Amino acid sequence: MGKVDRKDGVVRLPLVNPANTPVRDPLGDEAMVDPAVVRLAVLDDLLNLGRANSLWPLTFGLACCAIEMMAAGASKYDMDRFGAGVFRPSARQADVMILAGTISKKMSPVIRQLWDQMPSPKWAIAMGGCTIDGGPFKYPNQYAIEEGADKIVPVDIYIPGCPPRPEALIAGILQLKEKVKAGRRFEG
């Protein structure tokens, strides 16, 4: 039977299923899971472990938060400790898009295009108030900015702050790591 670990809200299937018995899907009521799927889950867990520890961000700064993103990659904070310090300039080689800064209406199609250029599985981190809901630039009838990154790309982690400190970004990356390890992600 699938062990349900509700502590962190993550549902984990057992890594081994020696009897090849059908496993009850802990999420569904009566749905059964094919044993083959469970065996594949072992591989999936391994791959997820790899993905979680190798989140290469796209070199992509929008505004103020980009400087804190750079600071997080620099000596004092060093995102590379968690394997997330390999900033890739090409979207084709990046895993996580850190949306660092205000998204203007002029920029939003570009961001969407970059997101589409990234190979899946991919994740997005909304860094800073602007990418959460417009932040300090939000006011009625604001014409220039996109109020929230989630209007453009599916966002996995929101990091509040204006700008968030590098520690906050690292905390966000660690959160994302947990999320990836658990195998949860948006499709597409």
Partner 1 sequence: MTNPPRELSPSTEGELYTLNMGPQHPSMHGVLRLVLQLRGEQIVNAKPVIGYSHRAHEKMAENRSALQFLPNSSRIDYLSGMIYNLGYCQAVEKILQIEVPDRAVHIRIIAAELNRISSHLLWFGTFLLDLGGITPFLYSFDDREQILDILDSVTGSRLTYCYGRFGGVTRDVDDEFLERSTAFIKLLRTRLLMYKRLVTDNVILRERCIGVGVISKDTAFRFDVTGPSLRASGVAYDVRKAEPYGGYDRFDFEVPTEEDGDTMSRFHVRIREIEQSCRLIEQAIASMPEGDILPKKMPKRFQIPKGEFYFACESARGHFGIYMVGDGSDIPFKMKLRTPSFSNLSAMPETLRGTMLADTIAIVGGIDIVMPEIDR
Partner 2 sequence: MSQSITDYAPQTITELVGNPWLAMPMAAGIIMGALTVNVLMLVWAERKVSAWIQRRMGPTEVGPYGLLQTLADMLKLISKQLITPANIDKPLYHLAPLMAFAPVVGAVALFPVSRDYVLLDNDLGLLFVFALGGMAVIAIFMAGWGSNNKYALLGAVRSVAQNISYEIPLILSALSVVLVVNAMGGSTASGLNLSHIAWVQSHEHVWFILLQPLAAIIYFISALAETNRAPFDIPEAESELVAGFHTEYSGMRFSLFFFSEYTNMLIVSMLAVVLFLGGWDGPLLPGPAWFFLKSYALIFVMMWVRWTFPRLRFDQLMTFCWTVLIPLSILNLLATALAISVL
Partner 3 sequence: MSVDLPTRIDELSTASEECAYEKVGFHQRHTIDASVLIDLARAFFEAGYVLEMITCQDLRAETQKMLLVYSFNRLESVDRQLLHLAIDPDTEQAPTLSMIYSGANWFEREVYDMYGVRFSDHPELERILLPEDADFFALRKDFGRMDEASAGGDEAEEGDDD
d(CA 181, CA 188): 18
Site for partner 2 (CB under 8 A): which residue of 20, 21, 113, 120? Answer: 120
Nearest to 120 by CA among 148, 92, 139, 143: 92
Measured from the CB atom, the residue of 107 and 114 that comes closer to partner 2 is 114
Name which of partner 2, partner 1, partner 3, none residue 71 binds, using a CB cut-off of 5 to 8 Å depending on partner kind.
partner 1
Q: Give residue 105's Cα distance to chain centre.
A: 23
Q: Give residue 160's Cα distance to chain centre.
A: 15
d(CA 171, CA 169): 5
The span of 3-11, 26-34, 157-165, 173-181 binding partner 1 (CB under 8 A) equals 157-165
Joined together, the tokens standing for residue 121 give 């599985």
Strand order in the sheet with 96-100: 96-100, 123-127, 157-159
d(CA 31, CA 151): 34
In the shown chain, the binding pattern of residues 74 to 113 toward partner 2, with x for contact by CB under 8 A and - for none, equals xx--x-xxxx-xx-xxx-xx-x------------------
- Regarding 137 and contact with partner 1 (CB under 8 A), the answer is yes
Joined together, the tokens standing for residue 141 give 């009838």
The span of 61-69, 73-81, 134-142, 169-177 binding partner 3 (CB under 8 A) equals 134-142
Binding site for partner 3 (CB under 8 A): 105-106, 139-144, 147
Binding site for partner 2 (CB under 8 A): 46-47, 49-54, 56, 74-75, 78, 80-83, 85-86, 88-90, 92-93, 95, 117, 119-121
